[in-house]
Chain A
Amino acid sequence: MRFSGLRVIKEGLTGNKGWSAHWRDASPKDAYDVVIIGGGGHGLSTAYYLAKEHGITNVAVLEKGYLGGGNVGRNTTIVRANYFLPGNSEFYSHSLKLWEGLEEDLNYNVMHSQRGQIVLFHSDGQRDAAIRRGNAMRNQGDDAELLSVAQLRRMVPYLDYDQARFPIYGGLLQRRAGTARHDAVAWGYARGASDRGVDLIQNCEVTGIDVENGKVTGVQTSRGTIRTKKVAMITAGRSSQTAAMAGMRLPIESHVLQAFVTEGLKPCIDHVISFGMGHFYISQSDKGGLVFGGDLDMYASYAARGNLPLVEHVMEAGMTLMPMIGQAKVLRSWGGIMDMSPDGSPIIDKTHIDGLYLNCGWCYGGFKAVPGSGHCMAHLVATGTPHKAAARLRLDRFKTGFGLMDEEGTGAQHNLH
């Protein structure tokens, strides 16, 4: 089933009875060329690019729940490429370019909206860092503009500029950054993969990874044994449990990150805005709700909900930045499980087991990475060599110390990210 303007009009006139399911709900076969563990954004995009770019269609995506029911459905939908360090810089740049062609590529409206992201700064030191980051972003081929306070006041007049504690000195704008409809991203990739022959298997939990003589031979699942020579572990949030089935310990600690949405309001916030002092970010969904969040709860957690101290912290930061939102009622809050790596950056790599591939450590940045992650992961699984945009996202960088990508400059230590 493909979408087109004509089709939408025809269905509108005939009671919308012609729409069919977007993907086949497949049952597992005995064997596949590639088995992907995890039917989230990254797993689905990997399956899609394996089929589309590499012609590998005898693929199963195994999801223990339902497709898109994990972190791809629990985030703040921000898409950007404002990274600084080599490794992250080219990867997120690559991913943003894929975002820009995604709707056409998938024939699916993912509501990708390049409304621009403004990162505010509040001191001379932060301004220097923003200038440096902006230069790095332009060097990687992306856009960045430094905004003065006067420019900011015209663009976003509702911020509290003149406060004594966190005065606003300016902002760094990336116009190509923005948001996308998170569920539609999962559904678009699912349909694209399914149409090309990939089996998307829901309610199928992997309970074991079979390894013989250092090589992957298959997986055990709640729906039987599946033979395969290639297994891709793409279960961010649960990576440690997945890898443990293959006897691996990972440099990952899972944390909860909370987010919030208010009641629907008339359009008032046109950009994605990040507050550099209190760590707060906000955008307005197309439905009208203000979507915002802040820091991690900062201790290991698998509860898909947070605790009140961070709720209070986020609300305080929001009110400090833009007092006008104080009347808005918060409708919902939720928590996603973050795969925190020691340097705050992702891992896409082979493992020491032949045929076993790892995609994890997305920290709080997994959503914007969905196209790039799948694209690079598919390349790695198909060819056995890293894609050039993901060449530095290696597992051994912690052991060797070479190529650590510590964007926050806090050190390669778990509890600091």
Chain B
Amino acid sequence: MKRAFAAAAVLVTLAVVSLLIGASDVSWRALFAPEPDERALQVLVISRLPRMFAVMLAGTSLGVAGLIMQMIARNRFVEPTTAGTAESASLGLLTATLLAPGLPVLGKMMVATVFALAGTALFLLVLRRIPLRSALIVPVVGLILGGIIDSATTFFAYRYDLLQTVNAWTTGDFSTVLRGRYELLWVTLGLTCAAYTAADRFTVAGMGETFTTNLGLNYPRIVALGLLIVSLVTAMVVVTVGMIPFLGLIVPNLVSMVMGDNARRSIPWVAVSGAAFVLLCDIVGRVVGHPYEIPGGTIAGVIGSVLFLYLLLKRGARVG
């Protein structure tokens, strides 16, 4: 209970700080003066609140997506960016941009989802063929697969001079979030809730196919559900704000170090910590070069890679 209060306090503080920082002046004084500054109020409603929601939604859903992937792949170092999911979504988006440039955002997102699904399924297929499933081999396979997909993306993007456009999808950046331009992300909240209701199934699936089947559950169906959630979340985040690296890896790991591996118990914590982590990254990105911005995804990459190394090198890391 105490921990829940502390977490809520941290999250709320970060959210409030996120509302007050940016290129324009939106201070307490401007908002709560006897005659509130109308410009400040406008910025709050048009830009700051949507940005805060977008950040929290992306953090929450990517964290939970990472957790689900880790259970399905039965490996702690797997998440959308270390299993080829994000790269596949990006390739899908590029394909849609090249072949059907007029497609609305929703259409592009569907294409990206299909690609993300295919890429993740391919990853799991490859995993099945690998006899030695040592903890480190699995993410290495994912990174190699992601690298191959990414090189295809880079090749076509280079050919058609879309490298900078692709770059926009691969680095999460919340600077363009405004009212009316991020609402798609609310769907990820629904997906996170769906993941929560199926939490127990994912916990069981995390113990392996035989175990799951012995309990009378349909293992392939659980895997399919998990894949669908992960792919949809990844595609939505990539389309609206771009990818945030390592998030789905470090957040579930840090949470499970404290909370253990019961998904029903850890999903709310992963959700809250994910949101807090991205809020922090986005705030740092806005403060470092004020009033200009460094993409939150870049900051997440820096912090995330350090934490990733820590988790890898930590003695007695629980693996497998």
Judge: A and B partners, yes or no: no
